[in-house]
Amino acid sequence: MSKKYILDGKEPVFCDDLFVWAAWLETEKTRVALTKEGDTEVSTIFLGIEYSFSEGPPLLFETMIFGGEHNGFLKRYSTWEEAEEGHQKICNQVFLNKKSGGEI
């Protein structure tokens, strides 16, 4: 089973109590950033569940693209700061360089 985390400010903290974790997710905001332009949305969130599957540092944040040329693209991060930086990089590639096309 994947490890569960909550945030203390912007810092992920391991949470071994399923009920505390679930209650936290219901009441806390998990969005790091959201950018929309036209039919494309770039969303970065705190997942609350580790997605590295114990291979390397926990991956707890995710940026995903909805709509547009890169629909479904996703990238995961370990820290809030990495997630903010990754969100901005992806937005720059998707929205500022969209005329050039290509891979993200």
34-79 pLDDT per residue, tens: 999 999 999 999 999 998 877 789 999 999 999 999 999 999 999 9
Amino acid 1: pLDDT: 60
Q: Is the pLDDT of residue 96 over 90?
A: no
Mean pLDDT of the chain: 91
- Decide: 48 and 4 in contact? Cβ < 8 Å: yes
Say if residues 86 and 94 touch (Cβ distance below 8 Å): no
Is residue 57 within 8 Å of 78, Cβ to Cβ?
A: yes
Whole-Å CA distances, 79 to 4, 51, 61, 62 = 14, 13, 7, 10
Residue 100 pLDDT greater than 80, yes or no: no
Q: Alpha helices of the chain — where are they, by DSSP H?
A: 18-27, 80-91
Say yes or no to pLDDT of 101 above 70: no
Q: Confidence class of residue 103 from pLDDT cuts 50, 70 and 90?
A: low
Task: Give the pLDDT of residue 98.
Answer: 61
